[in-house]
């Protein structure tokens, strides 16, 4: 058996342990605003909750009318705002170790004194590490929901949003429509021009879909050469019109492949959510409509119409 050396306590160890215990007690019971702020911020990685905590602690020190935070994290715009009004403002770009973590703007009706501005900066300095961690957490979450090739949300993100859309549609009676998009003869592109050209074409299609939609709509890479578009507050006929507009736009795409121009067409299947329908049933109906579009010659839109 291998001998494990024993660990001998040093004469100063009890004092160090006692000092550590006392430091923890002092930290836990501290009543100053900086310690309280950092303690509260450490309890959550949710950026919105952290900004609410910062706004609450700040308002006790420096009264304000509006606090707004803006930051683009990965591909999404994050905005937090509390309060209303105020023509005098102070604005801070949150930078830490060379990285940017958003802009914080504070407004009120009266001018800020130099002492108040110093107080705001002190609290921001205490909060910025937690804000940094929350931003990084959001970025990691978004990366898990993003297709690495096209940069648009992936099937996992689609599954989450379909479940949410189904629930909202059932609860509020709102119309939600789903469009499945499949590039026609995409395998031939890869076989003829190579996967680099095929990947470039997929990226162009993803960009095309995003540009063709409203800000409330969302596009996903469903898998392979297939994409999905989720349209809130959109009925069957309007969804068909959107699909036709996208179809025409896709047909205008060209990609340079070693001096040759690659063009593309796509087939579209549309289905509007039915009350009580599960997401997988909804997707299956859109997929059936897409199959019909393929069977009828491709480069067309088919709608899975609800039976009256």
Query: Which domains can be identified in the chain, with CATH numbers?
Result: 26-144 (3.30.450.40), 155-303 (3.30.70.270)
DSSP label at residue 63? -
- What contacts 113, CB < 8 A, 6 or more positions away? none
Residue 111: pLDDT above 50? yes
- Is 302 an active-site residue? no
Q: What pTM does this model have?
A: 0.72
Question: What confidence tens digit (pLDDT) does each residue in 229-261 have?
Answer: 999 999 999 999 999 999 999 999 999 888 889
The encoded tokens of residue 136 equal 């990084």
Evaluate if residue 130 carries a pLDDT over 90: yes
Gap between the terminal Cα atoms of the chain: 80
Q: Which of 116, 225, 277, 302 is catalytic?
A: 225
Q: Which of 17-31, 44-58, 258-272 has the lowest mean pLDDT?
A: 17-31
Q: What is the DSSP string of 234-247?
A: --HHHHHHHHHHHH
- The pair of three-digit structure tokens given for residue 59, joined into one six-digit string: 């308002």
Q: Where are the alpha helices (DSSP H) in the chain?
A: 13-29, 33-41, 47-61, 114-144, 155-172, 186-193, 195-212, 236-250, 279-295
* CB distance 266 to 229 below 8 Å: no
Cα→Cα distances 300→50, 91, 248, 251, Å = 48, 51, 10, 11
């Amino acid at each position: 058996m291998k001998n494990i050396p024993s660990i001998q306590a040093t004469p100063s160890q009890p004092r160090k342990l006692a000092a550590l215990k006392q430091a923890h007690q002092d930290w836990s019971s501290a009543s100053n605003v900086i310690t309280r702020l950092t303690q509260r911020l450490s309890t959550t990685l949710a950026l919105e909750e952290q900004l609410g905590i910062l706004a609450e602690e700040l308002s006790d020190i420096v009264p304000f009318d509006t606090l707004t935070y803006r930051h683009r994290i990965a591909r999404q715009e994050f905005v937090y705002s509390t309060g209303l009004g105020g023509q005098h403002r102070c604005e801070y770009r949150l930078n830490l170790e060379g990285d940017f973590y958003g802009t914080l703007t504070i407004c009120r009706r009266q001018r800020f004194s130099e002492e108040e501005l110093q107080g705001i900066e002190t609290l921001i300095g205490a909060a910025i590490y937690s804000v940094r961690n929350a931003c990084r957490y959001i970025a990691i979450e978004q990366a898990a929901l993003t297709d690495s090739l096209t940069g648009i949300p992936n099937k996992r993100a689609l599954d989450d949003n379909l479940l949410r859309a189904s629930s909202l549609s059932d609860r509020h009676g709102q119309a939600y429509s789903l469009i499945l998009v499949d590039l026609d003869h995409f395998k031939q592109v890869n076989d003829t021009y190579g996967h680099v050209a095929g990947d470039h074409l997929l990226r162009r299609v993803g960009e095309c879909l995003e540009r063709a939609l409203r800000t409330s709509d969302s596009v996903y890479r469903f898998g392979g050469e297939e994409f999905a578009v989720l349209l809130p507050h959109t009925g069957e006929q309007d969804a068909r019109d959107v699909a036709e507009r996208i179809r025409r736009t896709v047909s205008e795409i060209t990609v340079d492949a070693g001096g040759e121009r690659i063009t593309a067409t796509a087939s579209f299947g549309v289905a509007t959510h039915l009350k009580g329908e599960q997401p997988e049933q909804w997707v299956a109906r859109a997929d059936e409509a897409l199959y019909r579009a393929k069977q009828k010659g491709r480069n067309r839109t088919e709608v899975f119409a609800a039976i009256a």
